[in-house]
Amino acid sequence: MNTMLIVAMQTNDNTASTFAAKVCADYSVTVGGVTYGDWYLPSEYELNLLYQQRSVVSGFGSGYYWSSTEYSSNLAWYQYFLNGFQNYYDEYRTFGVHAVRAF
């Protein structure tokens, strides 16, 4: 899974920084006494599926969201939820994240 690979490839001290994949990997939610911690940063393809179903899937604003799909060592794909546009950008840019569990 891309998320865990991205987290593993970051600095040895992952607690010192915040990045999209780590935010998703660290996310957990408890419902009815059951904790779900198997969240990940969606791929470019999965993020586009979420965009296509945005009327059904809640929680998205009209902003930019990171995917786990890298274009190169310092560029990653994102999706703009206002119009569905996808492109890659410098990974140091601050965009939103939307953790997912499974498709």
Where do the domains of the chain lie?
2-90
pLDDT digits (tens, 9 = 90+) for 28-59: 899 999 999 888 899 999 999 999 999 998 88
For the stretch 74-83, pLDDT in tens is 899 999 999 9
Handedness of CA 92, 27, 64, 52 (dihedral sign): positive
| Surface-to-core class of residue 61, CB atoms within 10 Å of its CB (0-12 exposed, 13-18 middle, 19+ buried) | exposed
One-letter identity of residue 52:
Q
Q: What is the pTM of this model?
A: 0.82
Summary mean pLDDT of the chain: 86
Q: What share of the chain is helix, strand, coil (3-state, %, to 5)?
A: 25, 30, 45
